[in-house]
Structure 1
Amino acid sequence: MKKLLAMALATVIAAGMFTGCAPKPAESSADSAGTNNTESSAPASGEAIKLGVLAPLTGEVSVYGVAAKNGIELAVEEINKAGGVLGSQLELMIEDEKGDVSEAVNGYNKLMSKGMVALLGDVTSKPTMAVAELAAADGLPMITATGTALPITTYGPNVFRTCFTDPFQGRIMAKFAAENLKAKNVAIVYNTSDDYSTGLVAAFEEMAASKGVTIVAKEGYGADDKDFKAQLTKIAAAKPDALFVPDYYTKVALIATQAREVGFTGPMLGADGWDGVLGTLDEANQSVVNGCYISNHYSAQDTDAKVAGFVKAYTEKYGETPNAFAALGYDTAYMMAQAITNAGNTDAQAIVDAMKAIEFDGVTGHITFDADNNPIKDATILKLMDGAANFDSKVAAE
């Protein structure tokens, strides 16, 4: 996804993403060259297996890209230390796409020209959709760790994702509001110009209706807005039991602060785009998100040995608790390594077939893929309180 959050949301994640159609990207390097770089077999002795990585390492959504890249790098370091894949070391080729579609397309073409065998990326949804169209045309195995927009995997049978989708998160949070919070009336405030936000809202409303939850207020805002008090004042007047805020952490920090200022005291609900909100808020102001709940992909507090080992290794290497994007990046690299191992070579179609049939146990759970190359797994619900994102519950999709 457009997205698709520092973790706990600094301690764990609390983690983007999007729906809609991406603009028609530029011609891929494989098309322009008249060749397909994905046609390869077992690597030559001593030859590295090249994996491309696209991520926003600078810019507005860099917190997501850096975390995902760090998780991928940690996994590859471990894999190579253990002997690599098919007798070869994995080599990461990383391009910073700055959260921009054109930069992502350019980065993809650079990676193709360097002979990547598979793509790990992109991170947020619009760039991911742009490169998914190119990867589909090239037949290149591609898996996004964090792109949650529903259309991403529809571009081709060779495109996968590790995270769950925006609609899945929207349904999960509506189900959680109804069944766990016993909410009867809910309000929504969302970005009307953002695919991630609108996609989550549509799924939330559909599930809320099926659970007998009434949407008592629904207010929109623009991408560049920073003052939300008019919308939030109307919402507070409707006295909802909860407020759904499906956006990214920078906007969420502003909305949560202003919601408390206008008198809304109830829980706010969000998705993985909230990851990073605790790090964005001043420590003295973190209480504005106390009692808020978000869907995410894992919890750093999980006592599972695989999770604990990952958290320890990541913290030692990077000096911070890994958020969900880091965990998803880590699982993505390991999953691609397993697919290549199971394929027995680096032929593109063999890797795709192996990925479709994969049974993978990772930090973010047990993963298999459905017919649309979306993962089948549960969602973790985190509760924000006193500057930490704490494990609350697990919720399965319906």
Structure 2
Amino acid sequence: MKKIFTMATVAVLSLSLLAGCGTSGGAAGSGDTIKVGALFEQTGGAAQYGTAGLKGAQLAVEQQNAKGGVLNKKIELKVADNKSEPGESTSQATRLINSEKVQFMLGPMTTKTLKAIIPIVTQNKIPLVTPSGTDAALTVSDGKLNQWIFRACFIDDFQGQVGAQFAAETLKAKTAAIIIDTNGDYAKGLGKAFEDVFTKAGGKVVATENYVAGDKDFKPILGRIKAQNPDVIYIPGYYTEVGLIVKQAREMKITAPLLGGDGWNGDKTTEIAGANNMTNVYYSDHVAMDDPSLVDFTKQYKEKYNENPTGFSALGYDAATMMIKAFEAAGSTDPEKVRTALEGIKDLKGVTGNITVDAANHNPSKSAVMLQYKDGQWAFADRVDPK
């Protein structure tokens, strides 16, 4: 009932805010600046992703402005915090459009916070690039293209495929268990893709267990999984729960490899799980930060923020780079021309790899990597190319 009430509240709020939106009359590209909304999860349950993505975007914009900007204008990021909540995301997107007069947007990072603002972005014709919104339905819903939404990342289906291929081909697993957040489209999407590809490869899913975001005690479901003795356990969730699952699994002497998606990214997973429990764990990500080609980006990021970047930092940087290149290709800040330019991006060299946008679904064709926790840090384990 709580979930139903929350969803209803967000829907009502979205409709009420849409009623007052209309097409933005502000000229975001007039004068000496181009105003771009930066709507990120700076607080709340997904803050680890949002703060990293925002910093990456800010670095890309700062570097571009230092070179003179784009179209003889400086880019001005109008930053807003969606607090990792759909309702707040809706409210802040509306404020950015109506009050700040932005006509372009970067973020959010997660499926739920982005899904909440798609009607607003569409109503106001705002080209938006999400660094890490991986749900396929964000760009194509019920067979219809959400023409104003773009992404710098691959989609959930591909992540699930990557995890399954790695489990079957590299780890030689024959059986698997899956642990899914029943409230999360992200987890359900990855879980389904993993199961489909793993079973087609000859594997068998011997257990599927569910939890709800916010749960703390996973020992009952881990006990049932342990009884099935799977070769691998796939956990496509976010770090707040994943860290606890890893910790409790190892405390229960479950030694099977643990796999996940990019929701594992960052130091928080290790902090929650405990470094001593991170042996034999892997997750799919958009880039390996120990890749030699990332040396310059890592150095620049660390010089600015006095911390190492994560995969989400790199995706934030690439999302901003996609928008900048679209401005250049369009030769204009007209939203329709910029949207068309985003669809035409081809072989753009990004931090996370070369980016070519598929105009039919607005998804970039990119490789993925599997990372392994090793010697106190996440390190490259394998690369998987799209088929």
Cα distance in 1, alignment partners of residues 335 and 22 from structure 2 = 17
**Who is 1:83 aligned against?**
68
Deviation at 1:223, TM superposition (A): 2.4
**Who is 2:266 aligned against?**
276
The alignment status of 1:338 with 2:325, answered yes or no, reads yes
Deviations 1:71-100 (A, max 9, x none): 011111100001100000000000011011
Cα distance in 1, alignment partners of residues 152 and 373 from structure 2 = 24
Deviation at 1:58, TM superposition (A): 1.3
Q: Is the 8 A contact 1:142 1:160 kept in 2?
A: yes
Q: 1:296 aligns with which of 262, 285, 299?
A: 285
Deviation at 1:31, TM superposition (A): 5.4
**Who is 1:62 aligned against?**
47
Going from structure 1 to structure 2, the CA distance change for 1:139 and 1:87 (only over 3 Å counts) comes to: same
Aligned partner of residue 292 in structure 2, secondary structure: coil
Deviation at 1:263, TM superposition (A): 1.8
Q: 1:329 aligns with which of 301, 312, 316?
A: 316
Compute the TM-score of the two structures, normalised by the length of structure 2. 0.91
Cα distance in 1, alignment partners of residues 315 and 199 from structure 2 = 31
Aligned partner of residue 384 in structure 1, secondary structure: strand
Cα distance in 2, alignment partners of residues 110 and 262 from structure 1 = 48
**Who is 2:23 aligned against?**
35
What root-mean-square deviation, in Å, do the aligned CA atoms of Structure 1 and Structure 2 show? 1.9
**Who is 1:127 aligned against?**
113
Deviation at 1:105, TM superposition (A): 0.9
The alignment status of 1:108 with 2:93, answered yes or no, reads yes
Q: Is the 8 A contact 2:131 2:152 kept in 1?
A: yes
**Who is 1:12 aligned against?**
none
Cα distance in 2, alignment partners of residues 216 and 204 from structure 1 = 13
Q: 2:36 aligns with which of 37, 46, 51?
A: 51
Deviation at 1:193, TM superposition (A): 2.2
Cα distance in 2, alignment partners of residues 231 and 151 from structure 1 = 29
Cα distance in 1, alignment partners of residues 314 and 12 from structure 2 = 31
Cα distance in 1, alignment partners of residues 149 and 139 from structure 2 = 5
Deviation at 1:392, TM superposition (A): 1.1
Structure 2 counterparts to residues 305-316 of structure 1, below 5 A: 307-316=294-303
**Who is 1:5 aligned against?**
none
**Who is 2:232 aligned against?**
242
Q: Is the 8 A contact 2:39 2:79 kept in 1?
A: yes
Cα distance in 1, alignment partners of residues 371 and 119 from structure 2 = 34
**Who is 1:191 aligned against?**
181
Q: Is the 8 A contact 1:97 1:107 kept in 2?
A: yes
Deviations 1:291-341 (A, max 9, x none): 21110011111111xx21111000111111100111000011111000011
Q: 1:212 aligns with which of 202, 211, 215?
A: 202
The alignment status of 1:388 with 2:377, answered yes or no, reads yes
**Who is 2:306 aligned against?**
319
| Letter in structure 1 aligned against 2:127 | P
| Letter in structure 1 aligned against 2:315 | L
Cα distance in 2, alignment partners of residues 339 and 28 from structure 1 = 32
Where do 5+ consecutive residues of structure 1 fail to align? 1-21
Deviation at 1:276, TM superposition (A): 2.6
Q: Is the 8 A contact 2:45 2:84 kept in 1?
A: yes
Aligned partner of residue 329 in structure 1, secondary structure: helix
Q: Is the 8 A contact 1:340 1:351 kept in 2?
A: yes
Cα distance in 2, alignment partners of residues 167 and 277 from structure 1 = 25
**Who is 2:5 aligned against?**
none
Q: Is the 8 A contact 1:232 1:259 kept in 2?
A: yes
The alignment status of 1:233 with 2:223, answered yes or no, reads yes
Cα distance in 2, alignment partners of residues 336 and 30 from structure 1 = 25
Going from structure 1 to structure 2, the CA distance change for 1:33 and 1:172 (only over 3 Å counts) comes to: closer
Aligned partner of residue 281 in structure 1, secondary structure: helix
Deviations 1:200-228 (A, max 9, x none): 11111111111111111111122232111
Cα distance in 1, alignment partners of residues 178 and 125 from structure 2 = 40
Q: Is the 8 A contact 1:28 1:134 kept in 2?
A: no
Q: Is the 8 A contact 1:164 1:374 kept in 2?
A: yes
Q: 1:173 aligns with which of 163, 167, 175?
A: 163
Q: 1:161 aligns with which of 151, 165, 172?
A: 151
**Who is 2:4 aligned against?**
none
Q: Is the 8 A contact 1:37 1:112 kept in 2?
A: no
Aligned partner of residue 356 in structure 2, secondary structure: strand
Q: Which moved more, 1:95-104 or 1:220-229?
A: 220-229
